[in-house]
Amino acid sequence: MHYQDAYIKTFQGLPHAIQVERDKLNKYGPPLLGCTIKPKLELSAKSYDRVVYECLRGILDFTKDDENVNSQSFMRCRDHFLFYGEAIYKVQAETGFTVNTSLAHYCRDNGLLLHIHHAMHAVIDRQKNHDMHFRVLAKALHFSAGDHVHSGTVVGQLEGEREIALGFVDLLCDDFIEKDRSRGVLPIASGGIHIWHLPSLTEIFGDDFVLQFGRGTLEHPWGNAPSVVAN
């Protein structure tokens, strides 16, 4: 799929992109480290956000709510939002780091990063006889000004063909017009990966990507914060 330059220039572009995100986090060289909170369901708002606090206190770069997390009887959205904010500001006060996410314009206006998860990926584009390809979605997600977009891992649970995954990465890391990879989107390796996959992942993706460990962070026998340090 090809877009005309005149059409592309009507989009604002990325609010932050790779280089600005590294500048904000003051983290250069290695991949960024994130985590999807587990278990996704049945934790109370206070318990869930205690896990968030422990992970961020262990110096994760960010945490992520999965698509299943919404307003349910055991964790109402408002309670979750308030406890989440409390956890973030507590960690910020203790460490100096800020972690958050919201919609693209809100992110741009308030200096926040936008993380885009690929929910429905298995239904929409993973079937080989389907008429949709993730490369098309990746272009659209690039236009939507996401700083992170899930790309698959090649190894681990969300593995895929190496050449296809690297094609996504090249596309995501490109700017709209000028070929400056520092203005690109950070691909995310997420799904069934752990620390032993790190050599393969860095060999595949290089340095400019996000390592997102879920169980790899939250199943450590010493707790969440020590697990983050170990990773």
Catalytic residues, by residue number, are 38, 117
Tally of CA atoms within 13 A in the half-sphere of 208 that contains its CB: 19
How open is the CA angle 55-58-62, to the nearest 5 degrees? 50
Q: Are 68 and 40 in contact (CB under 8 A)?
A: yes
Cβ neighbours of 108 (radius 10 Å): 17
- Residues, the chain, total? 231
CA dihedral 175, 207, 96, 117 (to 10 degrees): 60
Three-state DSSP class for residue 186? strand
CB burial of 58-87 (b: ≥16 within 10 Å; e: otherwise) equals bebbbbbbeeebeeeeebeeebbeebbeeb
Radius of gyration of the chain (CA): 17
Tally of CA atoms within 13 A in the half-sphere of 26 that contains its CB: 5
Q: How far apart are CA 71 and CA 132, in angstroms?
A: 31
- Peptide bond between residue 199 and the one before it cis (omega within 30 degrees of 0): no
